[in-house]
Structure 1
């Protein structure tokens, strides 16, 4: 069995804002034919960070998401402004959302969250060496900001209390592959 790339003949924007765009792409799918395929494009780089301290605590925010109607735990996240480096953007977001300023920010992984329908590309960072600078600047971001023990983070993940995809991916990567790579295994 051979596979081939989809051929794109054209695209048109249906809707656009600074946060999201909806396009219809005229494509030919091998074995299927030509169709209009909807594509969600994200005009800005998306970032998340797992923030940890020396005692094995993870900085999480507890918030409500009106779209899903759910409360849950998340890692700090946000978009890079035009011309802003994603690592600088996540450092800014951590500070705005939590009141803690990261000392060091390192890229852990990158991934395409919904590659079949969107170009949403996420970068997940590990932030350490934080300094408390005050209360969070954006009070709409979180009802609570807490340092949570890693064992409790695992329970939150398993128990479905981290339902946000980028947070789930970043925490799972940190607790799994990132940790194994750091230990040399």
Structure 2
């Protein structure tokens, strides 16, 4: 069953987020106003690994949830910017490490029932440290974390950020399982 849209009106808008009320007909329910959160920019997350099996993570506080946790580098592609280039830029800005190679892992819709939040998750390798992190507001610390510890962080709820959780879990699961084994 497909919902029919009759119109929409914007309730709030900024360069970062928009809130809309869409006039829709839901089969079996009728016509309703449905809240929709739209993001004008493309979102990126990046799993960064090295040849020692470590993951580059940021430890930070999120004031909205009041939680501390580990995250992968993430950000927004500027209008017209290739998401892979944006991912590489964000890794360097947030960590001080410049990726040598950036490959798409997967794309996903984070909240398809209410939002157009569409993420591009990448895998970066071959990093070279070029500076300290450029944006000190992004994290309290940046660390290379062994894979076994990353799994423990995921299982222990210390990676609470949805995009980070999804990217790391995808990398450790389906990405790995879909690769030819030696």
Provide the residue aligned with 1:148 in structure 2.
Answer: 145
Counterpart Cα distance in 1 of 2:91 and 2:2: 39
Instruction: Please point out which of 8, 11, 17 is paired with 2:14.
Output: 17
Residue 182 (structure 1) shift = 1.5
Q: TM-score, normalized by length of structure 1?
A: 0.97
- Are residue 60 (structure 1) and residue 69 (structure 2) matched? no
- Are residue 80 (structure 1) and residue 84 (structure 2) matched? no
**Segment drifting more, 35-44 vs 174-183:** 174-183
Paired residue total = 182
- Are residue 89 (structure 1) and residue 86 (structure 2) matched? yes
Instruction: Please point out which of 125, 132, 138 is paired with 1:128.
Output: 125
Residue 114 (structure 1) shift = 0.3
Counterpart Cα distance in 2 of 1:93 and 1:21: 23
Task: Give runs of ≥4 in structure 1 deviating > 2 Å.
Answer: none
Counterpart Cα distance in 1 of 2:161 and 2:180: 28
Q: TM-score, normalized by length of structure 2?
A: 0.99
Note the residue ranges of structure 2 that are not aligned, 5 or more in a row. none
Q: 1:184/1:8 Cα in 2 relative to 1: closer, same or farther (>3 Å)?
A: farther
Instruction: Please point out which of 41, 46, 69 is paired with 1:44.
Output: 41
